[in-house]
Structure 1
Amino acid sequence: MDAIIDLIPPKVAAYIPGLDTSAYVYATGADLINFDKRSFWISVASIVFNPLYWNILARHEYREKTLQKIFGGSLGATYFFFVTIFSLGILRDYLYERAIAEQPHWELLTHPGFKALALALFGLGQLFVVTSIYALGLTGTYLGDYCGILMSHRVTSFPFNVLEDPMYVGSTMAFLGTAIWCESAAGLAISALVWIIYAIALKYEGPFTGMIYEKAAEVKAEAKRDAEEAKESKTSAPAPSTPPRKSERLAEAATTATASTAAPAATANGAATPRRRAAGRKSAIANETLAASPMRVTRSRSKARSDAEGSE
């Protein structure tokens, strides 16, 4: 029976009727936190390690794309982050509960009002975490944007319309609610550390994530400008001019006529050109025609007749 009681968290054991809680150790002052317990420091180490793990590895993946090469793409790398981060979260929660189970109890936190506050904090915190995962989806929650899977628009639905970082706030509320329910001052200290670690992580995660989306927007805008410029240059380029066939024929005729009229009169050795030879033949033909024409004959006969008549 004692072994079973040891496995039951104090937050449950305190409300089980007839259950003996006399083994619980209540402390005050500096004894509220036992720093000698190794489980306390293991819990602290896991809480510090988890954000360091996903921030360092995710930035490396964004620059080098190592996981994408190993797992065959962005989706495979994102699923790797999902499995490892989720598993580390489960381990962290287990180590946290084991740590506060070995710590002294704070009698002040046994008041029913604190129990109600613990329930409200834990329930609301888990609501923020679960609804954030639902709104972002698996790739949006587990660093898909670092692997090249970007969200098409900013999520503004619940709980992002209530809180800027609902997952971190909700997780811290769950840690705090558990610490109050378990009546653990050590749990309160660890919860404060959780919020400090998350606040530091946000200082680096927020600007880096914003840079990823700004670069993606710049690349998209540049590609759009290039496409528009290519389209404009294609539509504004003049079509090659083709002269009409009729104009070509007229130009060729004019060239031929110019060449025929501009031929030289004689060659270098003084020989007559074809044109001069043609002109000579034309002149000879004209003389022959004139000599043999009837008019020439008649005129010769008339002249001969006159001579004869004169001699008579």
Structure 2
Amino acid sequence: MDAIIDLIPPKVAAYIPGLDTSAYVYATGADLINFEKRSLLISAASIVFNPLYWNILARNEYRKKPLQKIFGGSLGATYFFFVTIFSLGILRDFLYERALAEQPHWALLGHPGFKALALVLFGLGQLFVVTSIWALGLVGTYLGDYCGILMSERVTCFPFNVLEDPMYVGSAMAFLGTAIWCESAAGLALSALVWVVYAIALKYEGPFTSMIYEKDAEAKAKREAKEAKETKESKETQETKASVSTPSTPPRKSERLAEAAATAAAATPAAIDNGTATPRRRVAGRKSAIANETLAASPMRVTRSRSKARSEAEGSE
């Protein structure tokens, strides 16, 4: 029977009716945490390693995109993060429970009130984690924005309308609930380490993620401004071409002047051919008439007439 109890996790064994839990080792004071157990240090190392892994690798992916080159795009890199982060999370949880199983129990946490608190913490924590993944989706949860797949808008549904970082908070709550359920002081210490590591990670993740979306918004604004400018220039060019290709309508005054000039050009040759008095002919005719009148009335003409008459008279004599 003792062998069966050793195989059953304490959090399950504590609530099986009639099961003997006398094999549990309880401690007090400084003996509540056994630092000589390697499983405790390995669990602490995995808790610290996981956030470092995805933060360092994700930032490098955002700047240099090595995973996108290897896996052929943003989606392949995101799936790589999903597989590795999810697997490391399962390994971390396994190492955590193994470490608690090798640590002494704290009798104080065996109170039914603490057991109920453990259930509430674990249940709410898992609810926050699962609903966060559901709200963000696989790509949003596993660093798709670091791989170039950005969400179109901020997620405001549950649990993000209750907590700013529900996934980290929920995970820490689940760790704490497990520690209380297992009556482990070492589990409380590891849960505190989980929260400290997450808090530090958020100090770096939050601003960096905000920077990614701010840069994307600036790039979109520049693209829209450039497209609007190109559209405006294209429209102006089309309007200019249309105005050049369409002949302008001459004013009515110009039409009348052109018609008068054409009429005058057509009438002038005919007038000259018919002998009609043109302005130049009228001047010439007027000069001829004046010249005739002058000759008729001039003294020379009279004298010549008298001389001719005298010579005729003398000849007749």
- TM-score bin (small chain): 0.7 to 0.9
Q: Does 1:156 align with 2:126?
A: no
Question: Residue 102 of structure 1 aligns with which residue?
Answer: 102
Question: Residue 227 of structure 2 aligns with which residue?
Answer: 227
Find the aligned partners of 2:145 and 2:90 in 1 and give their Cα distance. 23
Q: Which moved more, 1:27-36 or 1:10-19?
A: 10-19
Find the aligned partners of 2:115 and 2:25 in 1 and give their Cα distance. 18
Q: Does the residue aligned with 2:140 lie in a helix, a strand or coil?
A: helix
How far the C-alpha of 1:7 sits from its partner, in A, is 2.1
How far the C-alpha of 1:245 sits from its partner, in A, is 11
Per-residue CA deviation, residues 37-84 of structure 1 (Å, 9 max, x unaligned), is: 000000000000000000000000001111111111111100000000
Q: Does 1:9 align with 2:15?
A: no
What letter corresponds to residue 77 of structure 1 in structure 2? Answer: A
How far the C-alpha of 1:3 sits from its partner, in A, is 3.5
Per-residue CA deviation, residues 112-149 of structure 1 (Å, 9 max, x unaligned), is: 00000000000000000000000000000000000000
Question: Residue 63 of structure 2 aligns with which residue?
Answer: 63
How far the C-alpha of 1:235 sits from its partner, in A, is 2.3
Q: CA RMSD in A?
A: 2.3
Find the aligned partners of 1:44 and 1:171 in 2 and give their Cα distance. 15
Question: Residue 178 of structure 2 aligns with which residue?
Answer: 178
How far the C-alpha of 1:244 sits from its partner, in A, is 6.6
Q: Does 1:209 align with 2:209?
A: yes
Find the aligned partners of 1:232 and 1:153 in 2 and give their Cα distance. 29
Residue 244 to residue 152, structure 1, CA distance change in 2 (3 Å): closer
Query: Structure 2 matches for 1:250-269, cutoff 5 A?
Result: none
Per-residue CA deviation, residues 146-176 of structure 1 (Å, 9 max, x unaligned), is: 0000000000000000000000000000000
Question: Residue 25 of structure 2 aligns with which residue?
Answer: 25
Query: Structure 2 matches for 1:245-284, cutoff 5 A?
Result: none
Q: Percent identity?
A: 79
Question: Residue 130 of structure 1 aligns with which residue?
Answer: 130
Question: Residue 42 of structure 1 aligns with which residue?
Answer: 42
What letter corresponds to residue 235 of structure 1 in structure 2? Answer: K
TM-score (norm 1): 0.77
Find the aligned partners of 1:4 and 1:68 in 2 and give their Cα distance. 49
Q: Does the residue aligned with 1:45 lie in a helix, a strand or coil?
A: helix
How far the C-alpha of 1:192 sits from its partner, in A, is 0.3
Whether the aligned pair in 1 keeps the contact of 2:125 and 2:169 (CA below 8 Å) is yes
Find the aligned partners of 1:121 and 1:96 in 2 and give their Cα distance. 17
What letter corresponds to residue 155 of structure 2 in structure 1? Answer: V
Q: Does the residue aligned with 2:20 lie in a helix, a strand or coil?
A: coil
Question: Residue 239 of structure 1 aligns with which residue?
Answer: 240
Per-residue CA deviation, residues 249-282 of structure 1 (Å, 9 max, x unaligned), is: x9xxxxxxxxxxxxxxxxxxxxxxxxxxxxxxxx
Find the aligned partners of 1:187 and 1:245 in 2 and give their Cα distance. 93
What letter corresponds to residue 97 of structure 1 in structure 2? Answer: E
TM-score (norm 2): 0.76
How far the C-alpha of 1:20 sits from its partner, in A, is 2.0
Find the aligned partners of 2:219 and 2:20 in 1 and give their Cα distance. 66
5+ residue gaps, structure 2, are 259-307
Find the aligned partners of 2:4 and 2:24 in 1 and give their Cα distance. 14
5+ residue gaps, structure 1, are 251-305
Find the aligned partners of 2:188 and 2:240 in 1 and give their Cα distance. 78
What letter corresponds to residue 125 of structure 1 in structure 2? Answer: G
Question: Residue 89 of structure 1 aligns with which residue?
Answer: 89
Question: Residue 111 of structure 2 aligns with which residue?
Answer: 111
What letter corresponds to residue 86 of structure 1 in structure 2? Answer: F
Q: Does the residue aligned with 1:239 lie in a helix, a strand or coil?
A: helix
Q: Does the residue aligned with 1:26 lie in a helix, a strand or coil?
A: coil
How far the C-alpha of 1:184 sits from its partner, in A, is 0.1
What letter corresponds to residue 141 of structure 2 in structure 1? Answer: T
